[in-house]
Every structure is written in structure tokens, then in C-alpha cells.
Amino acid sequence: MERNLGKCHDRNGRISELTKLLGVMLLLFLGVVSANAQVVTLQNLARFEDAIYDLNLKTPLLYASAGNLGDPNAMLAPAVADLDQGVSLVLEFDDMLSSYRQFRVKFVHCDANWQKSVLNDIEFTLEFNDYPLNDYLNSGAVKVPYYHYSFQLPKLKLPGNYLAVVYTDRRPNVVVLTKRFCYYQNRIRINGTGRMAVDNALYRTHQQIDFDIDFRNYDVVAPAEDFRVVVRQNRRWDKTTNNIRPSNLRMFESRVEYRLFDNSTAIPAGNEFRYFDGRSTFTAGNFVQAVQRFDDHNALFVMPDRPRNRGAYLQSDDFNGGFIIDNRESGIGATEADYLTVVFTLKIPELDQKEVYVNGSFNDWRRDETNRMAYNAELEAYQASMIIKQGVINYNYSVRDPSTGQFSEEALEGNYSETENDYEIFVYHRPPAARAELLVGYRLIEVNRRR
């Protein structure tokens, strides 16, 4: 289905025939995926990360909302909130099944390495750890129907890492969806800046984060050893820097410095993300080659892409890999944005013994058969088709070497230190006599911010 797309950019009618076939096949796929979904129970849950186990669920979102529900830009906020402020975390997703299902959610406390902690539910929840998702709406004015669910997460007792685990009333032991989020309390102060890497060999390709932790008025026995620091790039848990050792301890000033010259905080800068504007099915938005409308579905063809790993850096605005859900005609993305058959095309010669993937926050940065591209020798390009909800979507391409299992975005996108990136600094600490690590500090640093 996703491996032979034919001449999808032939203007002589073939694009219509192709999209019609793709739409039928993908809609049929939606009706049967539950039979092939992986069954994961609460007892054997091994991956404490963002994951979809019931493939009828689409477009999961978890973000911090400061009372701006309905604003598409709110979806770009990270799933991180201050326990001492009035910012709520919101969970949303769509169910493609034709019949209503009652979903519920519970929370799992995790340590800094995203493994389940030893805490019991009563130690981090303010009430019973089982919440019904009662806020749902039917989709309207769409060709691919769905139920849209939303849920405002409750406040919890302790700052730290958490996993939201979603399941159904009928099968309470079977996990259908998991999403990560964090609550923090700034018991310490983080000061930091971002810049080009100090190493001359990395100056043009990497960015370096320098910061210090001010722990005045906070009880810590061995500050150089007790703080665990994680730096995350562009809200991606697959792009983190861990095990960072301090460069200096100023005990009389109650400050730990992380201003390193060993490249341990030098991070590949990547490139600005590609994007397409799929908010309308009546006109082609930015970087959309064509939109095909049929009775039972719509199809969108993204402009063919080429590698960007060579040449000069080109400045462009992006969402740092994120996406927003929206419908240009109605302005109601939650229930009136349709699901489209989206076709990506990457014009490069076939890579020997390599696999190519298209990915982004829109698919939780997964790299599997759903977003693996197939080479079309007739077009001399890699292609993939995916079901994506209408909106403005950031994405990029990566290459996998099957012999090592390693992925590389640099191979097709390049690394440029001029790239605009967001970095989050998470500081964890386990106080004396405490049973788990707490998130005692959080700071967002914007590098090369232009807006």
C-alpha cells in the first residue's frame, strides 16, 4: 500500500487515479488496524514513552494550556507545567472507530531515566488515580469521521516525570495510548545561554548550552553529585543530552557551573524543519503541489523535496518540528479538520543498503513501517503515504543503516549552527529520605530566536 505509489506527480490524470486508490486502501486500513494492534497491559508495559498501541487512535497531543484552548498555537507548548502556577496540561486525541468508546486515564510516576519509580499512587495523586475522559465531540463536515476526546489533567502532589496511560472501560487492563509529561517546582534557579560550539571542528554544525544552577535556600548535600541534569532539544525525548558533569562548584556562592569545553554539551544543531500547509482542501497551501478531492476522502501531495545536507544555511520559520491542527475554512481544528492521505516525495538516487523515513512530532518521531519510504525507480525518488490530520505540519527525513540500527537526520538535512532551536534544561534531585527524584528546576532557552 505504501510501497508503490506510481507516477504520483503526473498531471495527465494519473494523480487522480492514484489518490483514489490510496484513499480506498487507507480507509480500509483504518477499519481493520485494531485487529493487528499490539496488546500491552499495565503489568507488561515496558516502554514509558509516547506510544500508540491501538492504531485506531490518531493525533495524540499533550501540551500546557494557559486558558487558550481552541488556539492552534497552544499545541506547540511542551507538556511541561509549573505546579505552583495556574497552567493546565491538556490531553487530546481522535478515535477513528465508528462507535463511541469510553476511555479512562491513570498516571505513572517515573524517574529521570523514564523508568517507573517506586512511588505508590497515593504518594503523588490528590485523589483516586483513575479518571474518565467524558469530554468528547463528534467530528463534523469531514469525509473521514472520528470522535475527538480532550481531558484537562489534574494537579498532582509532586514535581517529576509522569506517564499518562489511556485505556478503555471494557478492557481496563489493556493500554491503548501513552503520553509523557512533566510537572516542576523551581526550588533552584537556572541561568543559561546558547551559542555556537566552542570547538573549532564543531563551530559551524553544533550549538552549545552553558548554564549554572543557583541552589541558595535549597538543601542539597553534595551539589556537584546530587543534581541530575537533562538537556532536551525541540521538545524531543529522542534528542536529549544526559549525564552532564559540572565544570565548577562555587560552594560559597551556592552555585554549580556547567560551562564545559569537552563538547559534552555541544549538540548537533540540525536544520530548520520542512513544512507544508494542509489547512485547506480547496486550495493548495504552502509547499503543497496538489489537493485531490473525492466523495469519501481527500488527498494531498507535498511538493517534492531534495536533500539539504550541502550548501549554505537557508533561514526559514518553522515550529521546531511541531505542528498545529487547524481548518482554514471553519477555524475549528479539533472536530472539523479532516484526515488526509498525504504523499511525501524525496528526489534522490536510491541509497544502497539504507532505509529512508519521513518523521516529525506529528507521528511522535516514530520510525517504523508506517513512515518508511519506498524507492520509486520510475520517479527516481523515495515516497511514502500517511494519514495526517489537517494543519501546518513540520517534518524532516532521516536515514537508517540496518547494519548498525543507527538513524541519521544529518545525512539528508545537514547541521547548521545558525539554526533556530529550543532547549529545555531539566534538573532532578532526590532529597534526603525521599523515595523518588523530583523535578526541582526547569528552564527554556531559545537559540537564534528571530520571532
| Per-residue pLDDT band at 71 (split at 50, 70, 90) | confident
Q: In terms of C-beta density within 10 A (0-12 exposed, 13-18 middle, 19 or more buried), how is residue 252 classed?
A: exposed
CA 209 to CA 233: how far, in whole Å? 11
Query: Per the structure block, which three cell numbers stand in for 21?
Result: 486508490
- Residue written as cell 470522535? 147
CA 231 to CA 430: how far, in whole Å? 18
Helical H segments across 237-344, by residue range = 333-336
- Taking 50 as the threshold, does the pLDDT of residue 12 lie above it? no
| Per-residue pLDDT band at 31 (split at 50, 70, 90) | very low
* Residue 391 phi, psi (nearest 5): 160, -165
Mean pLDDT of the residues in the chain: 91
- Taking 50 as the threshold, does the pLDDT of residue 372 lie above it? yes
Spell out the residues 6+ positions from residue 58 whose beta carbon is closer than 8 angstroms to its own. Answer: 93, 94, 95, 96, 146, 339, 387, 389
CA 228 to CA 243: how far, in whole Å? 7
| Per-residue pLDDT band at 149 (split at 50, 70, 90) | very high
Whether residue 214 contacts residue 254, with contact meaning beta carbons closer than 8 Å, is answered with: yes
Task: Express each pLDDT in 221-255 by its tens digit.
Answer: 999 999 999 999 999 999 999 999 999 999 999 99
H or E element, residue 359: strand 355-359
List domains and CATH numbers for the chain: 14-22+271-413 (no CATH), 37-184 (2.60.40), 189-269+418-447 (2.60.40)
CA 90 to CA 80: how far, in whole Å? 11
CA 53 to CA 38: how far, in whole Å? 6
Average pLDDT of 179-194? 97
Task: Express each pLDDT in 101-142 by its tens digit.
Answer: 999 999 999 999 999 999 999 999 998 999 999 999 999 999
| Per-residue pLDDT band at 32 (split at 50, 70, 90) | very low
| Per-residue pLDDT band at 15 (split at 50, 70, 90) | low
CA 162 to CA 91: how far, in whole Å? 13
**pLDDT given at position 257:** 97
Give how far Cα 369 sits from Cα of 105, 176, 200, 239, Å: 28, 19, 39, 21
DSSP-derived secondary structure for 22-85 = HHHHHHHHHHHHHHHPPPEETTT----SSEESSTTEEEEEEEEESS-TT-GGGGGS-SEEETTS
**pLDDT given at position 48:** 95
**pLDDT given at position 397:** 98
* Residue 374 phi, psi (nearest 5): -115, 145
- What pTM does this model have? 0.92
- Taking 70 as the threshold, does the pLDDT of residue 393 lie above it? yes
Is the pLDDT higher at 22 or at 62? 62
Query: Per the structure block, which three cell numbers stand in for 447?
Result: 537559540
CA 88 to CA 153: how far, in whole Å? 7
